[in-house]
Amino acid sequence: MFSYVDKSIRVQLEAEGMMVTLDRQSRVVPSDDASAFLSVLGPVPIPRLIGGEEVTLEWYPFVRRTELSAVQNAARDGSPDAIRELLHSSMSVNSVFALPGLRGSPSPLVRIHSCCLTGDVFGSRRCDCGPQLEQAFEQIKADGQGAVVYMSGHEGRGIGLWAKAVTYLLQDAGHNTYQANTALGLPEDSRDFSDAAIALRYLLAGRALRLLSNNPDKRRQLEDNGQAVSSTVSLIAGVCEHNLRYMRAKRAKGHMMPDDL
C-alpha cells in the first residue's frame, strides 16, 4: 500500500481539498515537492455507535509518502533495514477519527491509540486496549470535542502480531510484557508517534490538545515533534484478573496508574 493513487483521481481529490500533502513541519506542500512527507485524506464520514448513540465521525487517514521506486531501489541496494523501514512506513495507514468540528476545537481531548488486533477486535482480556479504545470514544463524546488517533503499525508496541503471539507464551512462562519482547531480541517499545504529531499539527493549526493517556512517552513524543499538549488525562479501563500483571508492569515503567490496581 503506497501513498499515491491514480494520478487523475489524486488531482481531483487535491482540487477538492480532500487530499493534502504535508512536510515534516505540517505545512501543505505540492504533492511532487521534494519535502513531501505525509499524505492526509478526508474527511470521510464514518457513522459509528458510541455509548448506544449514532455519531458520524470525520475520518482522516494519513500515510507516509513512500513511492514504489524507493522500495525497489532499497531492494537493489540490498539493505534489509532500509527495506523493512520503507515497507513498514508505506503499509502503516494511520487514522484520525474526529468528532465534527475538530479543526475548530479550542482544546480537544485526543487519544493516541496503538493498534491491538487481539484486544480491539477479538476482545482479548490479556490487555486493556479494547476497553481503553471504547472508553476513549465515550469520553471524547461526553467532552464534546476531540479525536482518537489510531496507529496501525504499533501491534505489540511495534513488534508485530506474530512476535506478539510468541511473547504471550513467554509471558505465560513467567516473563512480563517488556521482558518477553527483549527475550526475542526485540525492543521493549519501538513505537513512533511522530506521524501522529504531524497530522495533528495540521488539523489543529498549532492549537494545544489535552492528551487522553497514561503513557508519558506519548506526550514527550508529541511535544518533541511540535504538537503542543496542555494537559494529560488518565484513562483506566478493563482491569481484570487476566491483565493485572500486564497493568502492573506498565505502571512500573512509569505509566500513570493507581497503586490499588
Q: Show the cell assigned to 204.
A: 489543529
Best CA proximity match to 199, nearest among 7, 48, 65, 57: 65
What's the length of the chain? 261
CB 171 within 8 A of CB 164: no
Active-site choice (64, 65, 157, 191): 191
Separation CA 51–CA 138 (nearest Å):
6
Residue 258: phi, psi to the nearest 5?
-70, 155
The dihedral formed by the CA atoms of 208, 233, 105 and 199, expressed in degrees to the nearest 10: 60
Q: Choose, from 23, 189, 192, 217, the residue flagged as catalytic.
A: 189
Catalytic site includes residue 189: yes
Active site residue 191: yes
- What whole-number distance in Å separates Cα of residue 116 and Cα of residue 158? 10
Left if phi > 0, otherwise alpha if psi is -120 to 50, otherwise beta: which for 107? beta
- Catalytically active residues are 189, 191
